[in-house]
A = this chain, B = another copy of it.
Amino acid sequence: MAQTVQPGKFVYFFSAGRTEGGAGDKKLLGGKGANLAEMTTLGIPVPPGFTISTEVCTYYYANGNKYPADLQAQIDKGIAELEAAIGKKFGDKANPLLVSVRSGAPVSMPGMMDTILNLGLNDETVAGLIASTGNARFAYDSYRRFIQMYGNVVLGLKHHDFEHILDGLKKSKGVTEDLALDAEDLKKLIAEYKVEVKAKIGRDFPQSPKEQLMGAIDAVFASWMNDRAITYRKLNNISEALGTAVNVQSMVFGNMGDDCGTGVAFTRNPANGERKFYGEFLMNAQGEDVVAGIRTPLSIEKLGEKMPEALKELHSYADKLEHHYKDMQDIEFTIERSKLYMLQTRSGKRTAFAAIRTAVEMVDEKLIDEKAALKRIDASTLPSLLAKIFDEKEKKEVLAKGLVVATGLPAGPGAASGKIALTAEKAVEWAEKGVKSILVRVETSPEDISGMHSSEGILTARGGMTSHAAVVARGMNKPCIVGCSALEVDYKTGTVEFNSGTAKAVKMKEGDHISIDGFTGQVLNASLNTIPSELEQVFVTKTLPMEKSLLAQQYARIMQWSDQYSRLKVRTNADTPEDAAVARSYGAMGIGLCRTEHMFFAEERIAAMREMILSSSLEEREKALAKLLPYQRADFKGIFSAMEGLAVTVRLLDPPLHEFLPHEEAQIEELAKAFGKTSQYVHKKMDDLKEFNPMLGHRGCRLGVTYPEITAMQTRAIIEAAAELLKEGKKVFPEIMVPLVGHFKELANQAKVIRETADAVMKEKGIKVEYALGTMIEVPRAAVTADEIAEHAEFFSFGTNDLTQMTSGFSRDDSEHYLPYYIEKGIYPQNPFQVFDWEGVGKLVEIAIEKGRKTNPKIKLGVCGEHGGDPASIGYCHRVGLDYVSCSPYRVPIARLAAAQAALA
Contacts and interface: CB of A to CB of B under 8 A. Distances in A.
A805 interface: yes
Nearest to A705: B821
B821 A742 contact: no
Contacts of A447: 688
A694 B692 contact: yes
B698 A817 contact: yes
Contacts of A808: 742-743, 779-781
Nearest to A844: B784
B692 A695 contact: yes
A376 interface: no
Nearest to A689: B817
A839 interface: yes
A811 B696 contact: yes
Interface residue tally of chain A, by bracket?
35 or more
Nearest to A696: B811
Given A702-B818, A740-B809, A843-B785, A827 B745 contact: yes
A749 interface: yes
A840 interface: yes
A601 interface: no
A397 interface: no
A746 B817 CA distance: 15
Contact of A809 (B781, B785, B837): B781
Nearest to A805: B696
A669 B837 CA distance: 43
Interface in A697-750: 697-698, 700, 702, 705-706, 740, 742-743, 745-746, 749
Contact of A695 (B696, B700, B825, B847): B696
Given A781-B840, A822-B705, A696 B742 contact: no
Contacts of A802: 809
B693 A749 contact: no
A814 interface: yes
A805 B698 CA distance: 13
Contacts of A806: 696, 780, 806-807, 809
Given A813-B692, A813-B693, A746 B827 contact: yes
A606 interface: no
A808 B784 CA distance: 10
Interface string A672-699: 0000000000000000110111111110
B705 A827 contact: yes
A828 interface: yes
Query: Which of A706, A745, A784, A844 has the largest count of B CB atoms less than 10 A from its CB?
Result: A784
A826 interface: yes
B814 A696 contact: yes
Given A779-B808, A807-B806, A818-B702, A839 B785 contact: yes
A841 interface: yes
Q: What is the count of identical protomers in the complex? A: 2
Given A696-B805, A696-B814, A698-B814, A780 B844 contact: yes
A691 B696 CA distance: 14
A517 B806 CA distance: 44
A810 interface: yes
Contact of A706 (B693, B743, B814, B821): B821
A706 B779 contact: no
Given A745-B826, A827-B746, A817 B697 contact: yes
Contacts of A807: 742, 779-781, 784, 806
Interface string A830-865: 000000010111011001000000000000000000
A420 to B, nearest CB: 25
B840 A743 contact: yes
B745 A705 contact: no
Contacts of A813: 691-693
A437 to B, nearest CB: 23
A694 B693 contact: yes
Nearest to A707: B821
A841 B814 CA distance: 25
Contacts of A740: 809
Query: Which of A693, A778, A807, A822 has the largest count of B CB atoms less than 10 A from its CB?
Result: A693
Interface in A107-123: none
Given A693-B813, A694-B692, A705 B818 contact: yes
A837 B821 CA distance: 34
Contacts of A844: 780, 784
Nearest to A788: B839
A814 B691 contact: yes
A811 B693 contact: yes
Given A692-B811, A749-B827, A813-B692, A698 B840 contact: no
A545 to B, nearest CB: 48
Interface in A23-53: none
B818 A698 contact: yes
Query: Which of A742, A785, A822 has the largest count of B CB atoms less than 10 A from its CB?
Result: A742
5 contacts: A695-B695, A695-B809, A700-B809, A745-B826, A784-B847
Given A692-B814, A697-B817, 15 more contacts: A689-B817, A691-B814, A697-B814, A698-B818, A702-B818, A702-B822, A705-B818, A746-B827, A749-B825, A749-B827, A778-B809, A780-B807, A781-B809, A781-B837, A806-B809
Lowest 7 A-B CB distances belong to which pairs?
A696-B811, A693-B811, A784-B843, A780-B780, A698-B817, A692-B813, A745-B827
